[in-house]
Amino acid sequence: MTRFILAVLIGVALSSSVYAQRSDPFAPAQPLADGWEKMDERLIFLMVRLVDVEANLDAVDAAIAKSGGRAASAKSAANRAEAGSDRMDRRAGGPVRWDKFYGRTAEKFFYHPTDNHTYHTQTILSQQSPSNDNQTAPGVPSRQGLPVHQRPPQFDYMYRANENAKERATAEVAKIANKVDALAARRAELELDQSKLWCEVAFRVVSRNDLNRQPLYRFAPKGTGNEDLLAATTFVTTALSIVESGESDQSGTFRQIKPMISKARKDLSDQWLRLGVKYQDESSNEWRFAALARYVEDVSSNLSDSYAVSLDSARNSDADRRDMYRGLLQKSLVQYAEAVLALNEMATELANAKSFEPDLQKELQATKVSFSPKNVEPANASGGAHNENPNGSTLFRGHRYKVFREAGLDWMTAKSRCSAMGGHLVTMSDEQENQFMIELATKTLGDINNTGIWLGATDERNEGQWEWLDGTPFKYSNWNEGSPNGKDKENHLLLLLYFRGPQGKEVRGWADQPMAGKIHVIYYACEWDSMSDD
């Protein structure tokens, strides 16, 4: 990191004075150097979140290393990844850190000749092998020979945020510093957050342009003889739908992106063949569009596979394999975003050649990524009706729930397991939901003595002020008699108890518990806020 910062500072001094020290770190660099576009504020916010997540990962890694033994040995691969980020970037050995990811994103999407309207297309179709990378300084790759010694706007602000985040992260991790399993679970949770932010950052550079709202992708062209253009824009709308859904639901999107794009490309090819479109001429825009469509299909496959394999490797504690595929995932996200921008460039060129005019009376149906589960009846929104879906989870009022027959996990590990599956520990909104969960737990586990299930709430931040995982305070609670008691100042986590106590007294309510619990046989349940299959 020190070498990187030094190199960037030297580059700034040599190349331009526009990035001199600024009194307001929140302000974008003014004036921007030639070629820079103004950074999107939402993108900056997402990058600061990524900075914070990676600071927490660093703190967790440091705590794991200090804990010694098996956990420290398992983390040696991650430490090597940080030390050799340049090597790993080129050989697909793991993801690069936030500063390099920001530099790469900034160069590809915010620093290019503003008068070159096919920049992304040229970049993709003339891409060199990573082994031929002519990078001459850390930070921003220069594979396309661009002037890389410019500091991306807002870098100072993000670096400062990183320094502040380190202090907070170190203090937070200190609370579980001696709990190896909790540290490992926290790391898994942070890596999942990191992957989601990579997706949001990469896809934000597309969504900020509101391409899906452009007339080219909303309306059919006027007149006849434009079926070939319509086939091309239909392919683009499919690619754009992946961007829209991917920002909010990575798990569901990456499961469907591969078959969706493959089918869309086949439909494009079939329609162009029927229409007699000649796209074999490499100098034509039709050839370029077809080549980009093939590239998008390849990247979509990489995205889907790298996401699935990285999660599978994490579940099986295969750190090297996990890091390799997380690196491929990070790279593929940026490639997909760039490919969508290139598709838009070529679709625009095709439209200009045909003097495209939108027929405002013929609005096209937007392509949507559907996450509705198969063979599942809708839940009764006003009552407690629920149904089983194919993967064994149960539908209740539009959400899905599943109780897992795995006992003995601490709260943090259970939380991480749910996050890795795209859900979260169960949260409660009213008595009906509470009763539903007791019935589901009894059905799944039986009436076991001293049984409980972790719920997604804590008062760790402020003793006695309970809140759900999304930060919202309780609007409903169902505490057992004598709970919460804050025993030993460590009962900060929520447990749903359901068992028969002494003299047959039935206990079906909540209790506060420490991280691992000490008395009860504790299981866990996950909740998914959408009705998608998992």
Each residue's pLDDT, cut to its tens digit, for the chain (534 residues) gives 333 333 333 333 333 333 333 334 344 445 556 666 777 788 888 888 999 999 989 998 888 888 764 444 344 444 434 444 443 343 445 888 888 888 788 878 887 777 778 888 988 888 644 334 334 444 334 443 344 445 666 777 787 888 888 888 888 888 777 777 778 778 888 888 898 899 999 998 888 888 888 999 999 999 888 999 999 999 999 999 999 888 777 777 887 888 899 999 999 999 999 999 988 888 899 999 999 999 999 999 999 899 888 877 776 677 888 889 999 999 999 999 999 999 999 999 999 999 999 999 888 877 766 543 332 333 333 333 333 343 578 888 878 899 888 777 888 888 888 887 778 899 988 888 888 888 888 888 775 566 788 999 888 777 778 888 877 788 888 887 777 766 555 667 888 876 555 555 566 788 887 765 555 678 899 998 765 444
For 470-516, the DSSP string reads: TSPBPS---BPTT----GGGT--EEEEEEEE-GGG-EEEEEEEE-SS
Instruction: Pick the closest to residue 158 from 57, 82, 47, 56 (CA basis).
Output: 47
DSSP class of 455: E
φ, ψ of residue 483 to 5 degrees: the values are: -120, 150
Give residue 86's pLDDT.
40
In this structure, what token pair is assigned to residue 319? 């750190």
Contact indicator for 158, 98 with CB cutoff of 8 Å: yes
In this prediction, residue 487 carries a pLDDT of 56
185 alpha carbon, distance to own chain's centre: 18
DSSP E strand stretches across 174-312 = 219-221
Q: Can you tell me whether residue 388 is helix, strand or coil?
A: strand
Task: Give the closest residue to 423 by CA, choosing from 400, 452, 395.
Answer: 400
Q: Rounded to 5, what percent of the chain is helix, strand, coil?
A: 55, 10, 35
- pLDDT value at residue 473: 83
Are 184 and 203 contacting, i.e. CB atoms less than 8 angstroms apart? no
- Could you tell me the two tokens for 426? 């169960």
Residue with tokens 């063949």, as numbered in its chain? 273
In DSSP terms, 425 is beta-bridged to 526
The CA distances from residue 146 to 100, 112, 128, in Å, are 16, 8, 13
**Total count of residues recorded for the chain:** 534
- The DSSP bridge pattern shows strands 521-528 and 451-458 to be parallel
Burial of 472 (0-12, 13-18, 19+ CB in 10 A): exposed
Which pLDDT does position 223 carry in this prediction? 85
Q: For residue 2, with 0-12 CB atoms within 10 Å meaning exposed, 13-18 middle and 19 or more buried, which class applies?
A: exposed
